């Protein structure tokens, strides 16, 4: 019995631990090669990031991502939400700190701050912000880059991903791709 059990363990380990992952990886490489390789954004032979994982941006001439729940920020090896409820004092304090930083960065902007600029996503790694969050940042980025706000709004419109299948979710903007577009266009 023990020998038969060991053979079954070995066979299932080989099947589910080696052959199945290799088959799935091979199919993914064939069908979705860009996504299977991490959706990396490469310019001039240099990897600048992934369109699937957020990155921190702190300079005023960049659009800022939503806060990250990982330590260090945007660490894909520590993907997790904060699990803090809406009444948790730590969540409220973090949101207040983010709100304060946004108000200090652009004290003339009196518009309501979109919630995704002061809260983390479920994974803590979301590369997207809402269109409202991008538009909220336009005055600060326009001043820092010395460009008209309407040019930034047009760039945001061009880099907005619509709802999935036209009805699921909300339109979003990938922050890394937006910032790279602005750098590439010299804006």
Q: What are the DSSP calls for 15-50, one per residue?
A: IIIIIHHHHHHHHHHHH-HHHHTT-EEEETTEEEEE
Q: Name the residue ranges covered by the structural domains of the chain.
A: 1-37, 39-185
Which residues, in sequence order, are bridge partners of residue 174? 128
pLDDT for position 8: 97
Question: What is the Rg, in whole angstroms, of the alpha carbon atoms belonging to the chain?
Answer: 21
Length of the chain in residues, anyone?
A: 187
pLDDT for position 162: 95
Angle at 35 between CA 33 and CA 41, to 5 degrees: 100
pLDDT for position 185: 60
Q: How far apart are CA 140 and CA 184, in angstroms?
A: 19
Q: How far apart are CA 66 and CA 55, in angstroms?
A: 9
pLDDT for position 77: 77
Question: pLDDT 10s per residue in the chain (187 long)?
Answer: 999 999 999 999 999 999 999 999 999 999 999 888 888 888 888 888 889 888 889 899 999 999 888 778 777 777 776 777 888 898 889 899 999 999 999 999 999 999 999 988 877 788 999 999 999 999 999 999 999 999 999 999 999 999 999 889 999 999 999 999 999 865 5
Tell me phi and psi for residue 43, to 5 degrees. Answer: -135, 130
Residue holding tokens 């920020």?
73
């Amino acid at each position: 019995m023990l020998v038969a059990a060991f053979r079954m363990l070995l066979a299932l380990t080989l099947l589910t631990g080696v052959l199945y992952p290799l088959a799935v990886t091979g199919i993914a490489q064939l069908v979705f090669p860009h996504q299977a390789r991490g959706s990396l954004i490469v310019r001039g032979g240099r990897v600048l990031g992934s369109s699937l994982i957020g990155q921190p941006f702190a300079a005023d001439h960049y659009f800022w991502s939503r806060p990250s729940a990982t330590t260090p920020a945007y660490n894909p090896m520590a993907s997790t939400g904060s699990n803090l409820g809406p009444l948790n004092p730590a969540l409220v304090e973090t949101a207040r700190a983010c709100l304060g930083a946004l108000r200090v960065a652009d004290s003339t902007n009196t518009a309501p701050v979109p919630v995704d600029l002061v809260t983390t996503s479920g994974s803590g790694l979301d590369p997207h912000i809402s269109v409202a969050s991008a538009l909220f940042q336009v005055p600060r980025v326009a001043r820092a880059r010395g460009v008209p706000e309407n040019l930034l709004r047009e760039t945001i419109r061009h880099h907005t991903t619509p709802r999935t299948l036209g009805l699921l979710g909300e339109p979003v903007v990938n922050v890394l791709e937006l910032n790279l577009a602005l750098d590439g266009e010299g804006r």
